[in-house]
Structure 1
Amino acid sequence: MKKKYQILIMIAIIFAGGFAAGTIFTKNSAQPDSIKLAKTAAQSGKNPVQKSTPKLPDAPSKVLIGYVQDYRDPNAVDYSSLSHVIFSFVHPEKDGSLSFNGDTAMNNLRSMVSNAHKHDTKAILAVGGWFHIKGGESYEYFKSAIASPASRNKLVNELVNVADREKLDGIDIDFEHPRSQNEADFLEVFIHDLSKKLHANDKELSVAVHSKIHSVTGTETGNIVYNSSMFKDVDHVNIMAYDGQWDGGYNAANLSPYPFTENIVNYWANLFDTLNITKDKLVLGVPFYAQPEDPSIKQVSYEAIINRSPENALRDIININGTTYYYNGESTMQKKTNLALNNGFGGMMIWEVGHDAKGPYSLAGAIAEVLKDSETKPVKYYSVKNSY
């Protein structure tokens, strides 16, 4: 019995010693750094500056510019899709003065300006064009007007004055076309002087230019000369990407087919990249008329084509009374618009609005739809220097 008690006492001593040793070890042992609890960070004495979200510059709105001939009824023009409407034409005289096509043209201009402004559309006056009011080409008149300082200054002042008097938003220059280096120099000086005065009055200046591309060979035409520096002085460069039917012998099919337009767009995009001029100045022109296979027959309007059958909107070729006509239908127009946008162009130009179909078959409406979509969807720009 005594031995039994001795054994129990020994067990109790060993257990008590182990418990005490464990307690002492736990109190004195340091925790490894890897499992220490992090201290709460001290709060900064300064409040962080709240930074605003950086504001990206708005992409320039795409333009839809429509020329309207001076005899058109201004009340019949649909301004709703147009950013600019250009009244065509006032005619330059050799001494630098201007001539309108009578009182009717002047009254039409004033009505057009009033109607355009009601639709928040800019109203522009074009000077020049192919034909002169006195007959023949306007080329000789325009060339003489800008050749001497006296007549050139007079023409500049006449245009600035009419823009102010008639509440215009700008002037468009349509000199068809400089055919020598001297003429290109005269045009450059004229554009520069006019640009300074118009821009000082918060008005725009645009210039209509030849496509510079041969519709058959696809190469640059050398018989039309522009000084590239003049493009820096204008707001829009309206490229007449049509009338290729006269290149290399008459061929109506070359009016303005898509491959011809591709060559034109590539030429101007590359040129402006090389010159380091923003390509949103470039505006691609398209025809709203059909060219007959027989040159002795008159052109017909897109409206006349649609009036025959709305299904013609889906075509680019039609036969009327035994004559084949070539034109650009709705899908081609929208394809060209995407081509221009994908190359960084600033929009589209129409020759001319009076040829358009009314209502749901309007080509201007079809183009405007693509332009509107481009402002809500990202557009991929192609450049020989950069890809965006």
Structure 2
Amino acid sequence: MKKSPLLLGLVIAVTFIGGILTGVILTKNNEKQERPRTLIIENAPKSAIKPNAKELPKLKKAPSKVLIGYVQDYRDPNMVDYSKLTHVIFSFVHPTKDGAVLFNGDQPLKNLRTVVAKAEKHDTKVILAIGGWYHIKGGESYNYFKPAISNPKSRAKLVKELTNIAVREKLDGIDIDFEHPRSTADAENLAAFAKELSAQLHPKKKELSIAVYSKIHAVTLTEVGFVQYEPAMFQYVDHVNIMAYDGQWDDGYNAANLSPYPFTEKIVNYWSNLFDTLKLSKEKLVLGVPSYAQPEDPKIKQVSFAAIVDNNPASASKDTVKMNGTTYHYNGSQTMRKKTRLALNFGFGGMMMWELGQDAQGSHSLTGSIYSELKASRKEPVKYYAVKE
């Protein structure tokens, strides 16, 4: 049946009005709901509405500079200023010819455990050094260390013993102080020892460092050949602690050659060039400095920097002092700052001190002087350069 035009018009009008009313009601209800917090831009391209997520570029973190201090096993652990040190190297345990490890009695082991407990409060790492110049059974450690690392069986035993101690005592690593490899065979055996020890320590997140002879003659300022190292060895260690002191024995006794600045310049230049040639990071290199004084009269014993400061605090910034009827040569606070800047300018990884028990306490501390210079260097760019021959 056909609908009349009037009826058809009425239906269309009602439908149109109903649609408007429905839209108004829905709009009112939506206004009562929480608005979405995402900003929607009308007529924006899809890339603006749904941007592709991109990771921020990873910035390479600048390596932090280390301040390493050796401390002898009989020292009071309370005298160490752990807050300024990144590493404390506890010295020494002694190797036997068959690869065993000896502590110098019960007290050193107790001291080591105290050092570990105190260092942990300052996030300072503790490393145990094996070797040194003098052996617990008398004489040079060389005569015990050499056979221990020359035989594959005793070398493997020594590696296992040191690794077990590092794990058991909750240490952060091991330091090798073999004084000194005197032949190609010595150098190769030392490299093999470092490689095997590294293979055990590094998977356990523990470090391996090595103390090395300066390789520079304090008088001629030329390379010394009687101490030999296998260059491949340095790839296995985290820190190479350069013993840039004790030059007083070169070409006859002369206390002034203990560790003068020109001597240190040559040492830094030598090791910098060597690592550049080997294409190894110079961040591994750590410049060692002394905290003791050498007397011009060889019949008189060395004295600590602490003794010099106790005698006269004004001597803290100097490099010589007259005491006990003789003149002593040492590195005062100004020279320590200068040497620290030298190491940084060459791109070295930091500084090392032998040894903490001889340093002064308080404001005249050499540890404090080095720490302040390292801290100040973080605020300015460092230029790497080499000394001209």
Q: Equivalent residue for 1:345? A: 348
Q: Equivalent residue for 1:257? A: 260
How many angstroms apart in 2 are the aligned matches of 1:235 and 1:295?
A: 37
Amino acid at match of 1:361: H
The match for 2:319 among 316, 319, 323 is: 316
The match for 2:366 among 341, 359, 363 is: 363
The answer on whether the counterparts of 1:273 and 1:383 sit within 8 Å (CA) in structure 2 is: no
1:13-69, Cα deviation, whole Å (9 max, x unpaired): xxxxxxxxxxxxxxxxxxxxxxxxxxxxx9877448687764421111000000000
How many angstroms apart in 1 are the aligned matches of 2:299 and 2:324?
A: 14
The answer on whether the counterparts of 1:110 and 1:166 sit within 8 Å (CA) in structure 2 is: yes
The answer on whether the counterparts of 2:269 and 2:386 sit within 8 Å (CA) in structure 1 is: no
Asked if residue 292 in structure 1 is aligned to residue 295 in structure 2, the reply is yes
- Structure 2: 5+ residue runs without aligned partners? 1-42
How many angstroms apart in 2 are the aligned matches of 1:64 and 1:45?
A: 55
Identify the range of structure 1 (260-269 vs 107-116) with the bigger mean alpha-carbon deviation.
Answer: 107-116
Alignment of 1:109-124 (within 5 A): 109-124=112-127
SS in structure 2 at match of 1:303: helix
SS in structure 1 at match of 2:60: coil
How many angstroms apart in 2 are the aligned matches of 1:356 and 1:123?
A: 19
The answer on whether the counterparts of 2:92 and 2:128 sit within 8 Å (CA) in structure 1 is: yes
Identify the range of structure 1 (225-234 vs 50-59) with the bigger mean alpha-carbon deviation.
Answer: 50-59
SS in structure 2 at match of 1:80: helix
- Structure 1: 5+ residue runs without aligned partners? 1-41
SS in structure 1 at match of 2:84: coil
Please identify runs of 4+ aligned residues in structure 1 that moved more than 3 A.
42-55
Asked if residue 148 in structure 1 is aligned to residue 151 in structure 2, the reply is yes
The match for 1:269 among 242, 252, 272 is: 272
TM-score by length of 1: 0.86
How many angstroms apart in 2 are the aligned matches of 1:321 and 1:111?
A: 35
Amino acid at match of 2:187: A
Q: Root-mean-square deviation (CA), in Å? A: 1.5
The structure with the largest alpha-carbon Rg is 1
The match for 1:133 among 130, 133, 136 is: 136
How many angstroms apart in 1 are the aligned matches of 2:347 and 2:338?
A: 15
How many angstroms apart in 2 are the aligned matches of 1:306 and 1:238?
A: 26
How many angstroms apart in 2 are the aligned matches of 1:107 and 1:314?
A: 35
Call closer, same or farther: CA 1:45–1:119 in 2, change over 3 Å.
closer
TM-score by length of 2: 0.86
1:65-122, Cα deviation, whole Å (9 max, x unpaired): 0000000011221111100000000000000001111001111111111111111100
1:123-160, Cα deviation, whole Å (9 max, x unpaired): 00000000000111000100010010110000000000
Amino acid at match of 2:100: S
How many angstroms apart in 1 are the aligned matches of 2:272 and 2:45?
A: 55
Q: Equivalent residue for 2:12? A: none
Q: Equivalent residue for 2:8? A: none
Identity rate, percent: 67
Amino acid at match of 2:262: P
Alignment of 1:98-109 (within 5 A): 98-109=101-112
The match for 1:377 among 363, 376, 380 is: 380
Q: CA deviation at 1:376?
A: 2.3
Aligned residues: 343
Q: Equivalent residue for 2:307? A: 304
